[in-house]
Structure 1
Amino acid sequence: MKTLIKWLARLFLLAVLAIAGIAFYGFTQWQALEEMTIAQPDEASLFVVKRGETTFHLINRLADDPVPALTRKVWLRFHPELTAVRQGTYQLDQHTSLRDALMTMVEGDVYRLQVTLVEGLRISDWQQKLAQAEHVKVTLNEATEADIAEQLGIKEDKLEGLLLPETYSYTPGDTDLSILQRAHHEMEQFLADAWEKRRPDLPIKTPFEALILASIIEKESGVADERPLIASVFVNRLRANMRLQTDPTVIYGMGDDYDGNIRKKDLQTHTAYNTYMIDGLPPGPIAMPSKEAITAALQPLDSKYYYFVATGEGGRHYFSKSLREHNNAVRRYILKR
């Protein structure tokens, strides 16, 4: 009997020691998860959470060594706030704790980059910009302008003026097309609002004509604060049935033939866009106009100016009310006489 009691005592002691050992092991594993910093190869590297991935599996992806399944399950029982991670790409610092990393994914604080699509440029320039942007998925590299327009659901064959120049944020893996879709949507919204606020006496019949005029203003503006005054010149010319006679439209009409110089024969060559040869506005925008240029086109200043010429001083212009005054300004600022 005594021998049996001794054996039972020993078994009980072994059981206690085993339980204590398991408890100690579990505690150390728990503590390791509580204090763990993620295993990232580089400072501020990117980590992708794929669709359908769970926190239970992400722990092992973030850890240096595999964590036992039981430990992960128990740990997450005490941290239910970390279970609803969201799909996306995240920027995680090497020294981020496991808990902080998972909380970032729960909050959906995805890594965002920015690309600036500059006003005054053409769609081909924007295509190149997007192709060079970091982590943008390029899908339009070989697409023609008409192809892109079709994918955007735009009936026009040319896209100048139909996309809003702006700085757009995006996440890694977003496509160039998705960014252009946003630019088109933003332009539609802004143009609709600007058209509602337009001056009622303008010689512009449609929002599209406003974009055409705004694109010309954009290309002629050297400094932002001159846009409403330049707009007034073109509006005055349209009212007086004068040709706009603006060089950027000639350049656009020349297409690939433009080599950096405009010659007299270019001014006299008839194209659909050469406003030295055609009356009124050209058939479409010649560049991507900014919000400011669109606002200037629809809310120009009141002036009696019909001409302007570049002064060569910080992109500014000299504005004239008469042809005689304009010719004098040309001699002064261009011919240096």
Structure 2
Amino acid sequence: MIELPYILNLNDGGYEFSYSNKMIGVYVNNDYYALTYIANSFQLSAAIGKKEALLPHLNESYSLVKARTIISFTARAEVEELENLTGDELIDALRREMPKKENHPTKEEAQEKYSLMSEEQKLSFENKERVLKTARILFPPSGAYECIAMANHFIRHYSVFFNDHFSEEISLYQAASGLTNGVMIEHFFGGSRIDAAPVVGLFPPLLRGPLYTHTEEQTNAFRSILKRNSPSNESSLLLIRAKNLNTKGAYRSAALEASAAIENYIRLNLIKKMRENGLNDELIEETLSKNHFFEDRCKKIFRQYFNHSVPEIAPLEWQNVKHDRDIIRHKTTHTSHEPTEREVSQMTANIEFLIEKLNAYMTGLNTK
């Protein structure tokens, strides 16, 4: 179950679509509500469903919140035999159910409680935990990532067919800010829900308070920068955007932003150096226009104004960035290729390593 960050303009109900050579069923609901509460600066959902089903449970601890579109996938499995439990698993399960005081119940306290249970109670508790263990093995938390992939497949078809540019593909990071707190995985047995837990991924979207506080020195430095009549570091901003887009699953956009960051970094440093050498804006623009290819600027022009080319200053870092641009950026720009999260993360890191080396080199030049 996933709450989308917008409304799908579809009738409630089931829809089937082809995915990875099999038919997948998705249920769309635009009329769900959630019982929410705040715990340790996190907004969490205690239950999601129809309004009339939740109202009897509404009290001072909960808020009733209307959900946006919620899409659900269902998978079923039949097993001949339930998973067995070890003695430690059984006691740990009992500890989780015991009332918490200041500290989590100890193993010894759980063992004592277990010894006081009747044989019928022990058997009932053990069977319940065996069912839970079996369900969690059959449908593990890692299935959340496949749910996101299937949801995006469905959303892409919806967006194109209805020409709805307000809809967009989602990531686990975005889903975490919704009422399902990520992908809500529910386990059912015999028609009754036996377990529910959200798969969040990164937790910042859940927060309703600061994650940390910057030092007074950092805050004052930030205040000073705000008062200057100068733009923010444009190349750094592009890299921040690339990381943000990568977190949100927009891998194509992230790759292009990261690539633009290093191009912009080289361009701005060349402009600054050429101005220091007495060139006016017209000559600078003419020089850059004649050498508009990225490699020409990094090799010929950079060597002309900084004594060494970028590949000479940082050979390994240059090689990594060149490889990423030649392969990932080229395919992303000129085809429908979708890079992976790992590829974009590494591409961004390689650019940061190169910029770090170049900054150190140029700082050394300025101090001579």
Higher strand share: 2
Whose radius of gyration is greater, 1 or 2? 1
Same fold (TM over 0.5): no
TM-score normalised by structure 1 residue count: 0.26
TM-score normalised by structure 2 residue count: 0.25
Higher helix share: 2
